[in-house]
Each structure stands twice: as structure tokens, then as C-alpha cells.
Structure 1
Amino acid sequence: MTSADTAQADGLQTNFDQLLSANGIRVNAAQRRRLAWLSARLGRAAVHQPGSVPARDHGVVILVEPPSGPAAEMLYRSLRADCAVVIPFGENPAFDFLKSKLTDFGTIGPSSDGPHEMWWGGLNWRPIAPEEGSRSDASLRVVSCYPRALGDDHAGTLREKLAEFQIAYDIVPIDTADGEQMRASEKSAFMLRMWEEHREPLLFIEADATLSEPPLLPSYLDCDVALHKWNRWEMSARTLYFGRSPAAEALLRNWHHIATAYPAVWEGYLLDQAWSLTSSQMALDTAWLPRSYHAPAEDVGTPRHTTVVHNLPTDNSDHGPDAEFGVAIRPARRACRSGGRDAMIVINSQAASNAAITVIMRDIATSDAREMAASIEAVTGAFAADCGGFGRLELALCPWQDDIRVAKSAAKSANNRIIEIAPWQTLPADLFRTVGQSRDAGSVVVMAGQRG
């Protein structure tokens, strides 16, 4: 963000605080910064009223109520080409249909001061992308590695393009356990080495790729991480941006740890799991890169815009081991949110304890959006006020019984205590203290009560 952008964003800060407070919307610091960033580029922000059409001078449309199918279609058709839609309660699956009609721009994870996943998107990237032919003032280093067995010519084209665009780079051969194949643990270990050797943000590009233009978008977005989801759900490790932030480093280290533990698993799924883990623990600012940053060679010369062109087969065999892999996470990742089997938010307390408690929120598919958001805030607020001696809270949102079953199984295998609630239930202030004092560590506490 330039100094002019920062000054303009600072000037909008008070207005944002008033707007969010008046509409009962809680966001964390990273999410508020993104709202100001969008408004500085696109125009005034306003909360969308159900059944209405956004005013033409609204550059940022904040949506807090999930629209029905016809209402989503009406909203979609009424949007300006140069506006952004922001959903501050992006963890709610009721917004999935509207998201499917829009282009995903980014997701910012929850934190204790803003316990929701914020999603932002729009009709296309053009209004917020760097202008064609522009140069970035932000520092950036492109890094890449490849199995030594492939020879130095493997990355020749990429080296030539980076030199032409005057972009700093490190492209090196590495020794690999599987000859001409590179494991995720080897790629992530290389990335960690580059992270420790350099101070600039890092953009990893697969060594057999080429560039059609300078890859300016990731650093321009000023995010923690940027990557592409092939088919809107399969996370690809071919183009990866890591900004110089603690959250970016945490994702990188989590990816390396998981990849080392499961060397036989496909690298994209390991990256997905590292993203889910990191995003639940901190406000990870993720940008979902457009297809132009993950373009197969067949896109070159077509009307499609290309920036990073990968040497990919046309049958998608490079993007995952089989068509059914990751079925459980597919709907959630298409909507850029945590799935029912992942913890949506993890909060650590000040208690000197390794004991953890899992709260499973059921019936979210039939609950009002405000009701569900208020319940998430009630759970995290109660834990912050009195953790009951637990060192960690894990909150999972489970729309289906199968999700509840899997979440319970995972919690029990980790020896976590378990509470099952519904969004419409009122929680006692001493909830965690009461459960913590219970002697039956293996039981599931199901909150009783009828919907009012």
C-alpha cells in the first residue's frame, strides 16, 4: 500500500468503525485494513439492505444477510463491474450460492477480536489489478527449484523472462529422493531456506513455467499469502506468494511440517490442510489468484489473459491424484471457507494447561445468519472471559450429522473435551468453568433447550 493509499485509508477509518458498529458487524484489524484498502480504490462502502439494489456510488457492498436464489441473481445483475462484495460472516454456508456467481478475490481468517471469516470478491479482477504496463514499487523475489536430475535447461525459459523483466530471482536445482519428482516436503524446505536467506516477499513459480508479463498482482494486494485454486477448490503449489508477515511464515512452516509427516500425499492437499490450520489460528489474509497466474499453455494466444503460464497437461492429471480426492472439503473450498470437519477458529488462553475443548455448533444450515454470528461471538467471548482452565478452544461449524460425527471423532482422538450447541441457544457465562470442573472427561456436553 502506497503512502497516499495509507493516508486515504486512515481517513476512512472512523467512518468504517461507525458503519460496522451501527450494523453490529465485528471485524478484526486485518479485515478492517482490507475494507479500507478496497474503499480507497473502488469508492464508498455501504451495508446492503435485503431486497434493494446497490447504489451506483457504492464501490464496496457489505453483505450481512444471505440472499435467496432470486435475490442473489438480482444482486449479481445489479453490481457495478468496478465494485467489490464483502461478506463479513463468510464462514456461513448460506452465502455459498452467491459466492459461486462471483469471482473469489480473498479470504481473511478469524481471530479473537473478530471471530469470523471475511470473504471478498466481485465480477472480475480488472478494477483492483495493477494497470497494464505498470511497475510495482514493492520489493519481490521470484524463487524456484527443480530436481537436479532434470538438468539446467529445465528452468531456462523462466530465467530468461525474469531477466527481461528485471526481477530478482533464485532458481536452483535440488537433490530429490525420487529422482525427477519433487516431494512437497522438499519444495517447502527450499521455500523455508529462501525465507531465511532473503528479506523480500517471495513468489514461488514452478521452474518449467514462463511469464507473459511481470507478476505484479500478489505484491500489489499487500496480502499474507496468494495462491490459485484450480477448479475453484484444489489448491495448487505451482504459483505461491508469501508476504513478509508472521502469518505467512506460519503457513509456510505448517505446510513443511505436514508435508514432512505425510510424504506420500499430494502437495496441494497438504497445502490445503496447512492453510486451514493457519487460518483458524490467526487472521491470515489470503488472495485467491486468478487463472492468469495458473494458466496452462493452451491459454496462450486465446482471448484469455495470461501472466504465469505453466507447462501443464490438458487432462488435469497434474492437479490431483484422482477425481474423488478431497470430496469432504470440496464445497467449503469452493466457497473459500473452512469446512465442517475443520476447526473454524482456534483460540489459545493464558491458562498454563495443555487441555483443550472443542465446541461443535450444529443446526447452522437452518439458523439465521445474525443468530449464527452472534453465537460464534458468544462462544469466543465466554472463553476469553473465563476459559475454565482450558488452554485452547477449537470451534467447528457442522451443518450435517456426518460432519458432527467426524468432528467428535477428531476431538476425542486429541483427548479434547466436547460441547455441542446450536446457534439459538443461550450460553451460561461460566460454561467452560462448569465443563472444566466435570470429572467425566470422555463425555460430550450437549446444551439442552428448545428454539424460541
Structure 2
Amino acid sequence: MTDETHANLDRLLQAGGIQLGRAQRDRLTWLVGQYGAPTLDANLEGRHGGLILLKELPSGAAAELLYRALTPASAVVIPGSESPGFDFLKSKLTEFGTVGPCGADGPHEIWWGGIGWSKFLTAADASAARPRIVSCYPRGGGENISSGLRQSLERLRLDSHIEAIGTQFDDRILCFEKAEFMVRMWNKYREPLLFVEAGAVLRELPLLPSFLRCDVALHKWNRWEMSARTLYLGRTAHAELLLRAWQQLAASYPAVWEGYLLDQAWSLTSSQVPLDTVWLPRSYHALKGDLGASRAVILHDQQTTTLELGPDPGFAGLVRTARRAGRTGARDAFMVMTSKATTGNGIAVILRDIAASDATAVAATVEAVTGAYAADCGGYGRFELSLCAWQEDVGAAREAAALARYRILEIAPGQKIANDFFAAHASDDAVMTARHLFP
């Protein structure tokens, strides 16, 4: 991008009151390089190409009109995509990726999508960046498991590491075993890693994730269940945080389904750092027998089965809608911030009723409360913000915060948040403690 293009983008963001952190701005800059200068809240009349920044919440009819106006040469970026009000439009588009919030400097999640992957798939064909393919299989299962994968890698001339590992069961690999293998590969190699199951074959060069320059790329089965069958890790600090979080969760819950644990690692990491995630197209997670299997980049040999989703049977219903829209759910903190306060106490702020409120009011309240914590933490060493659509979400968020022994506060969209918001509540806590000790 030229200096003039950067200046024009700065003016557009300032005019729209859009705050972006460094990682979010880098993603937007990359998209400008692909699509050209963006427009803000585009006119819904006529066909649209190029990049559209969507700040205002569209009505159902407006979302339908915008969808019909888009072309494969266009993309939509939503800088405040944590609001459920954008979910309807997202459901009509192909979801390309998300970038998590960046603290007070970039307090919102950004989402980007469009009308199919054709533009990026074509552009990726010219990419010189190639990941190292890594895979593992149970030592007791025999080398024939990976023969098809090895042959396809030789044909495509891709660097790889395929290993038989010791496992508890001869016929499958548990999540903690796979995560430990991935950590070893991360420590051993310096290039980006693309894990595929040993029974898969590669039909084409898997260049899309490297071309998109993301931290992590994976496929969501049914648009919400995260799959670890195809998992890309860019060579970034944020990708390593996700990998370490996944390994720790898998070690703590060895019997839990790997998709659930990957989902939780993604949510945890996204709340703490601006994780740049790409949601891979089905061609990177195709199954034998699929209608589109002939066009697959990665073809898996077994049907996907959803076994146990984890220790909480309510998990699926709780976050299904949010994951389909690239958002975190009510039990997951949307954002975590820390301060230099020496105390180890934390505070959880629950922003309720976000589904029934205007997206602008939700965004303004998120900005106000994160800005207040950055200005004066009130002595709280850790701050977690949860966004709750309904009252049952509030209950789940309260339970999670109580387990961590956090001070819990509820606020509503549009509520005035002063710069001393946290200091004032810390002062109230001190008064309550004094009254308890000295009645």
C-alpha cells in the first residue's frame, strides 16, 4: 500500500469511528491490497465489487439486498462483529475469517466474508509459501494407514513429517496424544505446519492458509463444530498460544472429544490475543462420497462422527449460534485484559441484552468499559468482559466468573461508564470488607 492509500484508510476509519488494533489493521490492510480501497456502509443499489466496511446494523431486508448486490469480487468486513445483530447477514455469506479483539486499542472483533472462495483459491495458486505437512498414526495400526498420504505428498513434492506414535488404543489417537505430537513438531520445525489425518490424501497443493497469512486455519463442520482433522498453524506467537492452550486442555481432559477442546482453546486464546483465524472451505475437509470430492484439496477417508461433546451436555445448544457467526459464546469471555496491579484479584463485567440492543450502543459500551479499565484498573489485576444475549447466558457467565472467584458486575448497552468505573467499585468493595471486619 502507498502512503496515500494508508492515509485514505486512516481517514475512513476515523470518519466511521472505527477502532482497530495492530493485528486487525494488518488484516484490513491485506484485504485492501486484494480488493482496493474500501467503502463504508455501501449503497445497496446495484452490484458491488471491492471491499465494504459495514458498521451500521442492517435490517433483514437490507441484509438481503446487500447479499444480492455482492459479487465474487467483493468482500464484507464487519469491525464490530461481536453483535448478534450481524448474524443474519453472516449466515448468507461465506465466512472467511475473524480477528479477535485487541484490548482497549481495538476492543471489537472483526469478521470478513464474501460470496465464495474462488478469488482467494485462484490467487493462492501463485503463492510460493508452502507449509510442512505433519501427520501421525497409532504405532499399532501399521504403516498402510498413511500410504495414500505419503504417495500424494511425494507427487506434490511437499516437505512432510509422518510418524507412528505410541497410543493408548491401537485404532485411534486421543486428543492429548495429537496435541503433544503437534507441540513436538512445532519445536522441531520452523515453517508453518499443516496437520492432516494419516488416512487423508492431498489432491492439490494446500496453499490457501499460507497465502492468507493467518495465525490458524481450520474447518467448522456444520459451520459450528471445530474439526482437528485439518489444522494449520502459522509461524506466529498467537498460533503457539492456541497450540499450548489446546495441549493443556487435552492433558487435563484426556477423554473429551478433540473438537470440543479445540473450540475451547480457540475461545480462550481469542479472548486474550487478537487471534487471526481463517475458517477453511470444505475443499480442505472433504470426505469420500461428498458431491464436491472431485474438487477437494484434502480428501479424508472417514465420515465425521460427533461423539461426546464434553462434560457439559448443554454446550452444543449454548454456543452453536455464536460459532456459526464466528463469535464466542456466553460462557466464554469475549475479551480479557490485565493490568500491572500487584493484586491477583479479578473482575468480570457482563454486558447483557446485546441481542435486543442496537449494535452501535453495544459497541459504544464495549469501548467505554475497556477504555475505563485501561485508564484506571481500580486495582483489579484481571478484567474479563462477557457479552450475553439472553438471561440464561447471563446465568452461565455468572457461574463461570464465580468459579474463578471474580467480582461480578452487570451493565447494559448504552449505560454511562465513567473513567473511574473500576476504581469506584473497588472502593465499594473496600467499604463492604471494612464493614464485615468491623461491624
TM-score, scaled relative to structure 1? 0.91
1:394 matched residue in structure 2 = 384
Q: Distance in 2 between matches of 1:181 and 1:54?
A: 54
Q: Can you give the 5+ residue segments of structure 1 that lack an aligned partner in the other structure?
A: 1-7, 444-452
**Which residue of the other structure, out of 210, 214, 239, is the alignment partner of 1:248?**
239
Q: Distance in 1 between matches of 2:122 and 2:190?
A: 23
More deviation, 427-436/214-223: 427-436
How far did 1:439 drift? 3.4
Matched, 1:223 2:214: yes
Q: Distance in 1 between matches of 2:179 and 2:270?
A: 18
**Which residue of the other structure, out of 341, 354, 368, is the alignment partner of 1:351?**
341
How far did 1:424 drift? 1.1
Q: Distance in 2 between matches of 1:428 and 1:16?
A: 30
SS in structure 2 at match of 1:67: coil
Is this contact kept in 1: 2:283–2:293, CA < 8 A?
Answer: no
Is this contact kept in 1: 2:371–2:419, CA < 8 A?
Answer: no
Identity of aligned residues (%): 52
**Which residue of the other structure, out of 77, 99, 121, is the alignment partner of 1:108?**
99
SS in structure 1 at match of 2:127: coil
1:301-380 equivalences in 2 (<5 Å):
302=292, 305-313=295-303, 316-317=304-305, 319-321=306-308, 326-380=316-370
1:129 matched residue in structure 2 = 121
How far did 1:299 drift? 2.7
1:412 matched residue in structure 2 = 402
Q: Distance in 1 between matches of 2:110 and 2:186?
A: 27
2:26 matched residue in structure 1 = 33
**Which residue of the other structure, out of 419, 425, 429, is the alignment partner of 1:435?**
425
Q: Distance in 2 between matches of 1:439 and 1:411?
A: 17
Q: Distance in 1 between matches of 2:241 and 2:431?
A: 31
2:78 matched residue in structure 1 = 87
Q: Distance in 1 between matches of 2:345 and 2:211?
A: 41
Q: Distance in 2 between matches of 1:397 and 1:215?
A: 36
Is this contact kept in 2: 1:48–1:64, CA < 8 A?
Answer: yes
Is this contact kept in 2: 1:46–1:60, CA < 8 A?
Answer: yes
Deviations 1:357-407 (A, max 9, x none): 000001212221111111101011000000011111100001111111111
2:11 matched residue in structure 1 = 18
How far did 1:438 drift? 2.9
How far did 1:353 drift? 2.2
Is this contact kept in 1: 2:48–2:69, CA < 8 A?
Answer: no
More deviation, 248-257/336-345: 336-345
How far did 1:306 drift? 0.8
How far did 1:12 drift? 2.8
Q: Distance in 1 between matches of 2:50 and 2:2?
A: 14
Is this contact kept in 1: 2:120–2:208, CA < 8 A?
Answer: no
1:152 matched residue in structure 2 = 143
Is this contact kept in 2: 1:130–1:220, CA < 8 A?
Answer: no
Moved over 4 A (4+): 54-58, 322-325, 440-443
1:282 matched residue in structure 2 = 273
Structure 1 residues 338 and 58, CA gap change in structure 2 (3 angstroms)? same
Q: Distance in 2 between matches of 1:440 and 1:342?
A: 28
How far did 1:65 drift? 1.5
More deviation, 281-290/429-438: 429-438
Is this contact kept in 2: 1:9–1:37, CA < 8 A?
Answer: no
Is this contact kept in 1: 2:336–2:384, CA < 8 A?
Answer: yes
How far did 1:129 drift? 2.1
How far did 1:85 drift? 0.5
SS in structure 1 at match of 2:73: coil
Is this contact kept in 1: 2:140–2:171, CA < 8 A?
Answer: yes
Amino acid at match of 2:235: R
How far did 1:48 drift? 1.2
Is this contact kept in 1: 2:48–2:70, CA < 8 A?
Answer: no
Is this contact kept in 1: 2:47–2:69, CA < 8 A?
Answer: no
SS in structure 2 at match of 1:418: strand
Structure 1 residues 303 and 272, CA gap change in structure 2 (3 angstroms)? closer
Is this contact kept in 2: 1:227–1:241, CA < 8 A?
Answer: yes
Structure 1 residues 442 and 309, CA gap change in structure 2 (3 angstroms)? farther
How far did 1:342 drift? 1.1
Is this contact kept in 2: 1:359–1:395, CA < 8 A?
Answer: yes
Is this contact kept in 2: 1:358–1:395, CA < 8 A?
Answer: yes
1:148-227 equivalences in 2 (<5 Å):
148-227=139-218
Structure 1 residues 35 and 55, CA gap change in structure 2 (3 angstroms)? farther
SS in structure 2 at match of 1:158: helix
Is this contact kept in 1: 2:130–2:207, CA < 8 A?
Answer: no
How far did 1:422 drift? 0.5
Is this contact kept in 2: 1:417–1:442, CA < 8 A?
Answer: no
Structure 1 residues 404 and 374, CA gap change in structure 2 (3 angstroms)? same
Amino acid at match of 2:270: S
How far did 1:416 drift? 0.3
Is this contact kept in 2: 1:44–1:58, CA < 8 A?
Answer: no
Q: Distance in 2 between matches of 1:244 and 1:194?
A: 12
Structure 1 residues 75 and 108, CA gap change in structure 2 (3 angstroms)? same
SS in structure 2 at match of 1:236: strand
How far did 1:143 drift? 0.4
Q: How many aligned positions are there?
A: 429
